[in-house]
Chains A and B, each alone.
Chain A
Amino acid sequence: MNILGISAFFHDSAACLVKDGVLVAAAQEERFTRKKHDEGLPLNAMAYCLHAGKVDPGGIDVLVFYDKPVTKFTRIIRTFAHVAPKGFETFRLAVPSWISQKLWVPAEISRGLGKIGFSDPDKFMYTEHHVSHAASAFFPSPFQSAAVLTVDGVGEWATTAISAGHGNTIKILEEIHFPHSLGLLYSAFTYFCGFKVNSGEYKLMGLAPYGEPKYADAIRENLVDIKEDGSFRLNMDYFNFLGGLTMTNNNFARLFGGPPRKPESLITRREMDLASSIQLVAEEMMLRMADRAKRITGERNLCLAGGVALNCVANGKLLRSNIFEKIWIQPASGDAGGALGAAMYAAFHIFGEKRVTDGGKDMMRGAYLGPEFPADTIEEFLKQRGYPFRKFPGREEWAREIAALLADGKIIGLHQGRMEYGPRSLGNRSIIGDPRNPRMQSVMNLKIKYRESFRPFAPSCLRETASEYFDLETESPYMLLVAPVKEDRRFKVERRHTENLIEWVNDRRSDLPAVTHVDYSARIQTVDREVNPNYHLIISAFKALTGCGVIVNTSFNVRGEPIVCTPEDAYRCFMRSDIDHLVLENFILDKNSQPKFEDTTDWRSEFVLD
């Protein structure tokens, strides 16, 4: 049975194909259209998944949309009724697209399928938003039975849900409803600190260790009433998102001593302290909610999804709290993952496909579910364009060359195998570097990624030697857990009180300075030989050469650009930035020997800053 899951029309559109209960392919539309967080119908992603699954033009059995649009529209209408006469601006912007497109999902999708040469599915279905998230967390997990916690901005009504998964079924037990939302609370601070909602939350999390949680009490006392059992309600006197175009209002600004920070302006101590404070409160809430999930399900395992599950700092604390024995987090926890959850929910829960788990490996295939480009295609591309390259027939030699370049301080764009599904690059569409270089973080941020200097980079390490570098007892294949750098690798650095983040960044905090955040934490990716043998080979070669089994891994893109998909995307990004070498499968390109790159567009204006 071919089941196509789709998430679309809000942000991070994606498609996913599940064939006879097996996850075959999944991809986000932004990677194809090159429009970050593309919300349109994911025609390219749909076409890719269907072709990857060798589905006949009339072979889609079931198409599942990841939420219930009419219920979502009802929530929006009911919200307007609560805030009128305020809210007209939002109404004006939102309602036309609802009337003309979002309410007619089957017609839109049917038209889209026609464009890519496929017939309508035999069945069209919808799952609830949080059911999609919960299904994306539980069904691919290695657990036969688990509690599931899904936390995001909002779906139809639910913003938070606790579910129980058993075998091939899942059910929601308890919910928190809109407008009370941890995701929206975190986004409100993201907005207030001058970052973009729906993408800047990651920056806020990265900024948090620079600050002190001075405002945590103010948040608890004024903004959110948190119960012992993790349930909560927001005090809407401080928020503007019900009827306005901003997340916060004047009361919020008064509480935190002034107006919101303007985007791209100087980050002050206030923003650092606000980030630290909301991060602390969010972690407390997550821990309490997890405790509640444990109590009402009695499970030993926890699965996480929803946008808030991308908060890897909170995830790390949750892991170390030992509330649950094991935790598994969906790597595409945001709305893109809804496509996967919707397809899996239909496959397992509705159509009863058999779900086999062994408690060890998950079903995500390392999240390498996107398109790949064979070596002969790449060679043809390079020759056709006249781009000089070196070809390495054997991967051992190839890995040794890459390791040598890394050890020489070079920054490498790595494009190999299937593209990752979800927001993290996991070694197939990555920029990699030497973590021992103390200037690597600021160089990569400012010269390669063109992004804020304070943002930390993640380490990729061999699964088998991760514990030599980090206090992490479990694997973290999707870079969704934060753990401290080993005590014996740290260097003592006095805590700074300056607002100059470059000074902070350049402090050498461990023998892996490029991946050690100011609080000695690191967002770790453990690389499994079986799941990504080539990437494992590179890190192994680097370890053999330098004695260091860790490399820096960041997504292969510049700020505001979607992660690269094709070899052409990779080459373009390589030439536009200060990346020294580009690896396309078993070909290595040196920037110095490339012909002058004629950029046809002003790429700095091509991508909207995130």
Chain B
Amino acid sequence: MAASIAAIFFFLALFKRDAHSKLVRILENAGTAFSGIISDVMLFIVFSLIFIPARGYIIFSGKDTLRLKKEPHLRSYWISRKYDDAKHRFANLPFYLEDSDERAGSSMLRKGVIVLLFLCFLGGLGELVLRYYGYGHPVLYVSHPTIGYFMAPNQELTRQGGSRISINEFGMRSGKIAKEKPASVKRVMILGDSVSFGGSYVDQDDIYPSLLQRFLQRKAAAAGKGSLKIEVLNLSTNGWGPLHQLAYLKEFGTFGADLAIMVLPIYNLYRPLYHLPSVPFFDKNKPPHYAASEVLGHLLWRSRATQLGSPYFDYPDLMADQSMEACLSIAKLFESQGGKVIMIETPYYDEVRDGKLFQHEKLPFEARYDRMSALFSSGGREIYFSQNYFIAKSGRKELSRYFHDSLMHFSKGGHQLFEEYLETLPVWDRLL
């Protein structure tokens, strides 16, 4: 253990400050991530799997590295220290080599093998724990020259807490559909990002597009249109903005959707057309083979992203103008094919908590809300703001019931609340 950690830090020392700071940051992130997911149960599993076998080994091998055995025959218990100037040369390292290691009585080779085996054991254990928590088989993506990326078709996954994710043949988080809309079908298409995708932590049946589909099916039956089939297509992908959505629609078409709902947190207007290398997602052709490699991939990306910063902060107005143009183009595309388009702004955690529109430190959100609203509704289109509904319903308390994090991503409760909000919109009677 000590030798392995020693080796890592030895490399740190060799690469000096730059490499040192990068690796420390990665390790720090790993430490933070690890400390975030540990729980008593996990700790107990780790403790049991590491230390009970280790104790067995100590008993079996008769080792007494803590010198717990009574040795009254010894004349002295002092441990002489071979003075070794390495300690001063390595004063920049957080460990020292124990020069009294003769007590271990084993060769460096033997020690190396033990350390290697131990590391393998630790690695295996970590892999098992991570797989238990749903890592190791993430959603995979396809790189595309104009769309940037989209979800690889036909994926059936089970992720955190047993949540199911179904990606259909067109890269949507929806069930299978026909490309051409049958006459007996009404289609609603959700155009969104990670908020509408729903994350890996919300089951397919619990994301709001699924809930909306069931609501509309019930509503149709209640209106005496039981033979009408409702399909809500969830074309929402992690990290997407309007530029991705427009490119996708140009490539694959509108699937004959009767109603398109553009669901976006205002932040998405500042998103450039990310390609796969810019986001922490895995290419279909390079899937992670281990849970550990998935976690490590995320950590490395996060470390890199932290260092690179966010490029769109440099040109916020340019980005937002392009995205707003894309929104209008999307709307016109659907409208040209007989469909309708509405836009819904989703709330930020801070907006619900504070009871007012969120102001980003660097991005002019409030002005952008106004401009988007004016621009989009100028063609007679409807734009809705769900923030007040969330503020009223949540009472600005217990926000963890509705949000998965302190940004804008919904938990299962948030998906339910958002779907309840959708039910209140005056568009469904016209659709059916």
A interface residues, Cβ below 8 angstroms from B: 64-65, 68-71, 73-74, 77-85, 87-88, 91-92, 95-96, 99-101, 103-107, 110, 123-128, 131, 156-157, 162, 171-180, 225, 227, 229, 231-233, 235-236, 242, 292, 346, 349-350
Contact = CB atoms under 8 A, between A and B. Distances in A.
B31 A103 contact: yes
A77 B1 contact: yes
Nearest to B80: A174
A99 B68 contact: no
Interchain residue pairs A-B with the least CB separation, the first 4? A84-B51, A231-B77, A100-B35, A70-B95
Contacts of A229: 75-76, 78
Contacts of A83: 55
Given A87-B51, A171-B83, A172-B81, A227 B75 contact: yes
A201 to B, nearest CB: 23
Given A103-B31, A174-B78, 15 more contacts: A65-B94, A78-B65, A81-B50, A84-B52, A84-B54, A92-B47, A99-B35, A100-B32, A103-B27, A128-B87, A171-B83, A176-B78, A179-B66, A232-B77, A233-B70
A124 B94 CA distance: 10
B52 A85 contact: yes
Contacts of B92: 123-126
Contacts of B308: none
A104 B25 CA distance: 9
Contacts of B83: 171-173
Contacts of B50: 81
Contacts of A242: 66
A292 to B, nearest CB: 7
A107 B79 CA distance: 34
Contacts of A236: 68
A84 B55 contact: yes
A78 B2 CA distance: 10
B77 A233 contact: yes
Contacts of B28: 104, 107
Contacts of A172: 81, 83
Interface string B15-29: 000001100110110
A71 B96 contact: yes
Interface in B12-66: 20-21, 24-25, 27-28, 31-32, 34-35, 38, 40, 43-44, 47-48, 50-52, 54-55, 58, 65-66
Given A91-B47, A92-B43, A292 B55 contact: no
B72 A225 contact: yes
Contact of B55 (A85, A157, A346): A85
Contacts of A78: 65-66
8 contacts: A70-B9, A71-B94, A82-B58, A174-B80, A179-B66, A227-B77, A233-B67, A235-B70
Contacts of A174: 78-81
Nearest to A78: B65
Contacts of B24: 104, 106-107
Most buried by A among B5, B44, B66: B66
Interface residues of B, number: 53
A128 B96 CA distance: 8
B81 A173 contact: yes
A346 B81 contact: no
Given A84-B54, A292-B78, A92 B65 contact: no
Contacts of A69: 94-95
A82 B61 CA distance: 12
A184 to B, nearest CB: 13
A107 B25 contact: yes
Contacts of A87: 47, 51
A349 B40 contact: no
Contacts of B94: 65, 68-71, 103, 105, 126
A176 B80 CA distance: 9
Contacts of A123: 92
Given A95-B43, A174-B81, A346-B91, A70 B67 contact: no
B94 to A, nearest CB: 5
Interface string B79-113: 11101000110011111101010000000000000
A233 B70 CA distance: 8
A99 B34 contact: yes
Contacts of A68: 93-96
B55 A81 contact: yes
A224 to B, nearest CB: 10
The residue in B24, B38, B47, B50 that gathers the most chain A C-beta atoms within 10 A of its C-beta is B47
B6 interface: yes
Contact of B95 (A74, A80, A91, A346): A74
Contact of A227 (B31, B67, B76): B76
Contacts of A100: 31-32, 34-35
A413 to B, nearest CB: 42
B89 to A, nearest CB: 10
Interface string B214-229: 0000000000000000
A173 B1 CA distance: 26
B373 to A, nearest CB: 41
A579 B91 CA distance: 48
Among A84, A96, A126, A227, residue most surrounded by chain B Cβ atoms (within 10 Å): A84
A127 B91 contact: yes
B52 A350 contact: no
B43 A79 contact: no
Contact of A156 (B44, B58, B81, B96): B96
Given A174-B79, A180-B77, A225 B70 contact: yes
Contacts of A85: 48, 51-52, 55
Contacts of B78: 162, 174-176, 229, 231, 292
Contacts of B52: 84-85
A591 to B, nearest CB: 48
Contacts of B21: 110
B55 to A, nearest CB: 4
A126 B93 contact: yes
A99 B31 contact: yes
A103 B75 CA distance: 38
Contact of A91 (B5, B43, B75): B43
Contacts of A125: 91-92
Contacts of A106: 20, 24
